[in-house]
Amino acid sequence: MLKSFPAKILLLGEYTILNGSKALAVPYNELSGKWSFNPLNEEAAKISHASLEAFLEHTSEQYLDYPRLKRDIQNGLWFDSTIPHGFGLGSSGALISAIYETYAPRRGSLMEDKIALARLEDYFHGSSSGIDPLVSLIQKPLLIHNFDEVEIYSEKLNLNGFFLLNSNKPRNTGPLVSIYQEKMKDPEFKRGCAEVLSREVNFAIAAILKDDRSNLFHHLWLISKFQWEYFPEMIPTQMRGLWSKGLESGDYILKLCGAGGGGYILGFNDKLSNMEKIKLFDPHELREL
């Protein structure tokens, strides 16, 4: 019950994973959640506890020690989390991984765990891939070859230069995925995703795994440019000026972090100091990876 469950960041593969590209997801330990039985005095504690009660009413007993979870919830269990809801960092994934780690009577293979986590997280998202809670559960980077082939990447990744920018706007993933699926009906958009975006995503992932910094910037810039031209609905209005400026100057790159539409935007720069970036992106909250 003392274990913390981190947020997750989908570095690469947003949307394109739906059409055959790889994806790379990493835990983000600066934001996390853990169980608490502290009195339900704060509003956040009351909201979390009520959410667990609702989850219990709709979840399946197939994957969990249901009686023990029910007993603990009745005794005031809640999830004390610093991960903001609706910002693309896996707040529900961390909760589901905590439930699974604590209350699952059996553990299977990695893919069996992923399937179980996905079915549990379906309560929050309607349909979950299981990736978010799996990252939080394993607490190591996951290289997703496709939804049926996921690899734990045990080598240390060099993520220097990556950062998060807070758009200060929550988002809902479902409608954004629907927009993407509608766009895929356009042959030009579909061809661009297959021949340009998916290719550059795979190249960028390979560059990160090889620590190939010179080529990484190039591939990220092409991803950013494609998203700027073809994903305007997913780029928060308040971030568009900064996004365009990065493309034009080449000083930094902004790209979607997950579904986009709000929440955090992912950035990359290995030239500016942290203080320079804070000044450049003020008043937006900046978090280094």
Q: What confidence score (pLDDT) does residue 176 get?
A: 84
- Domain over 162-288 is classified CATH 3.30.70.890: yes
Q: What confidence score (pLDDT) does residue 171 get?
A: 82
126 has pLDDT over 80: no
**For the residues of 117-131, what is the DSSP string, one character each?**
HHHHHHHHHSS--SH
DSSP H helical ranges for the chain: 43-58, 66-74, 91-103, 110-125, 131-138, 173-183, 187-192, 198-210, 213-230, 240-249, 274-281
pLDDT in tens, 139-159: 999 999 998 899 999 999 999
Region 177-202 average pLDDT? 90
Residue 202 and residue 1: Cα distance in Å, rounded?
Answer: 38
Cα dist. 187→25, 143, 183, 226 in Å?
29, 29, 9, 16
pLDDT in tens, 193-251: 888 999 999 999 999 999 999 899 999 999 999 999 999 999 999 999 999 999 999 99
pLDDT in tens, 21-36: 999 999 999 999 999 9
DSSP H helical ranges for 38-109: 43-58, 66-74, 91-103
Residue 24: count of CB within 10 angstroms of its CB: 22
pLDDT in tens, 3-17: 999 999 999 999 889
106 has pLDDT over 80: no
pTM: 0.93
DSSP 109: -
Q: What confidence score (pLDDT) does residue 172 get?
A: 77
176, 259 Cβ separation under 8 angstroms: yes
266 has pLDDT over 80: yes
Proportion of the chain above pLDDT 90, given as a percent: 72
Quote the distance between the C-alpha of residue 221 and its chain's center. Answer: 20
Residue 1 and residue 4: Cα distance in Å, rounded?
Answer: 8
Q: What confidence score (pLDDT) does residue 62 get?
A: 84
131 has pLDDT over 90: yes
Task: Pinpoint the residues of the chain covered by CATH 3.30.230.10.
Answer: 5-152
From the options 3.40.50.2020, 3.30.230.10, 3.40.50.1100, 3.30.450.30, give the CATH code of 5-152. Answer: 3.30.230.10
Q: What confidence score (pLDDT) does residue 255 get?
A: 97
Task: Pinpoint the residues of the chain covered by CATH 3.30.70.890.
Answer: 162-288
Residue 165 identity (one-letter amino acid): L
Residue 127's pLDDT band (cuts 50, 70, 90): confident
DSSP 140: S
**How buried is residue 38: exposed, middle or buried, by Cβ count under 10 Å (0-12/13-18/19+)?**
exposed
Region 62-75 average pLDDT? 93
Residue 19 and residue 17: Cα distance in Å, rounded?
Answer: 5
Q: What confidence score (pLDDT) does residue 167 get?
A: 93
Q: What confidence score (pLDDT) does residue 209 get?
A: 97
Region 260-270 average pLDDT? 92
Quote the distance between the C-alpha of residue 135 and its chain's center. Answer: 9
Instruction: Look over the chain and give the mean of its residue pLDDT values, rounded to a whole number.
Output: 92
249 φ, ψ to 5°?
-85, -30
Region 95-114 average pLDDT? 90
Q: Which residues pair with 162 in a beta bridge?
A: 268
114, 144 Cβ separation under 8 angstroms: no
CA-closest candidate to residue 177, choices 228, 126, 223? 126
Tally of CA atoms within 13 A in the half-sphere of 55 that contains its CB: 26
For residue 158, what are its two tokens? 């060099």
DSSP 257: S
49 has pLDDT over 90: yes
